[in-house]
Amino acid sequence: METAKNKTDQALFNTVLSLADSTLILSHRLSEWCGHGPIIEQDIAMSNIALDLIGEARNFYDYATKLEGAGKTEDDYAYFRESKEYKNALLCEQLNGDFAHTVVRQFFFDCWHIHFLDALRNSPDENLAAIAEKSYMEVSYHIKWSSEWVIRLGDGTEKSKQKMETALKALWPFSGELLEATEDEKILIAVGILPDFETLKTVWLEQVTTILTRATLEVPTGKNTAQTGGKTGRHSEYLSYLLAEMQSVQRAYPGLKW
């Protein structure tokens, strides 16, 4: 019995870290747009979304510190782990590319995020439910933002449509990982702490299809789980560069405070 409990505890810890990492890494990517946005309103929009995501990441890291019970802080997880210890989905670490790439990456992520949080609000795990309840309201603005841009650019000019098609094709193979349960997530789904991923997959595809159709874009063909492994620590080279920049100050001056 005790072994089963330990197994669930470990799975919960790994999964909470994975959720924290995905939101942190995507937040960092979005923050790279700060000062470089196509127009100031969108520069501010991306920074605001980044801020919401970093807030959510902090809530998950904070919960992870309690689960681990080793006296660590949020910063220990964010600044002092190597890329192979990071458990973010590969989609989140993909380069910003052009604005179309950033919009498509955000759109795929938001379509997962909103429905995942919606279901997680009913988790018997009170900490997860509270974090989900808090972030759900914020994410409803994110998905509105990304969906509107998918429609504007897809159903825009010939050039914007072509850029969206390129971005969709490039990011599609990464878009399914968030909904592909890891061994840890399977344990939590079995005990009801996480929602059923199969239902979420259906809802995700429906939403993606609805918006892409409205944007006069085609849903890419091929497996959307061709690229996975991020959630268990297998990353592209992009993550190491991102971490090198994000962690540089704490690596040089450990424990430095503002």
Partner 1 sequence: MMTTRDKSAVWEILERVCDPEIPVITIADLGVLRDVRIHEDGEVEVIITPTYSGCPAMNMIAVEIRLALKAEGIEKVKITTQLSPAWTTDWFSEEGKKKLKQYGIAPPVDASPHVRQLFGQETGIECPQCGSTHTQLLSQFGSTSCKALYQCQDCKEPFDYFKCHR
**HSE on the CB side for 105, CA within 13 Å?**
23
Regarding 55 and contact with partner 1 (CB under 8 A), the answer is: yes
Q: 54 near 24, Cβ under 8 Å?
A: yes
- What is the spatial distance between Cα 1 and Cα 5, in angstroms, rounded to a whole number? 6
Is 58 a binding residue for partner 1 by CB under 8 A? The answer is yes
Verify binding: residue 103, partner 1, rule CB under 8 A: no
Position among 8, 31, 48, 247 found at the interface with partner 1 (CB under 8 A): 48
Residue number with CB closer to partner 1 (52 or 184): 52
| Residue closer to partner 1, measured from CB, 164 or 181 | 164
Looking at beta carbons only, is 53 or 188 nearer to partner 1? 53
CB proximity list for 242: less than 8 A, separation 6 or greater:
25, 28, 29, 93
Nearer to partner 1, 45 or 179 (CB): 45
Is residue 217 part of the contact set for partner 1 (CB under 8 A)? no
Single residue of 20, 45, 89, 181 touching partner 1 by CB under 8 A: 45
Q: DSSP secondary structure string, 209-238?
A: HHHHHHTT-PPPPS-TTSS--GGGT---HH
Any idea which residue has 């299809």 for tokens?
Answer: 209
How many residues sit close enough to partner 1 to count as binding (CB under 8 A)?
30
Q: Residues near 258 by Cβ (< 8 Å), separated by ≥ 6?
A: none
Q: Which residue, 79 or 174, has its beta carbon nearer to partner 1?
A: 79
Q: Is 53 a residue that touches partner 1 (CB under 8 A)? A: yes
For partner 1, the binding residues in 117-156 under the rule CB under 8 A are: 126, 129-131, 133-135, 137-138, 140-141, 144-145, 147-148, 151
Distances (CA, A) of 154 to 149, 164, 177, 211: 8, 6, 24, 10
User: Could you tell me the smallest distance in angstroms from the CB atom of residue 82 to partner 1?
Assistant: 25
Alpha-carbon Rg for the chain, nearest whole angstrom, is: 18
Positions in the binding site for partner 1 (CB under 8 A): 41, 44-45, 47-49, 51-56, 58-59, 126, 129-131, 133-135, 137-138, 140-141, 144-145, 147-148, 151
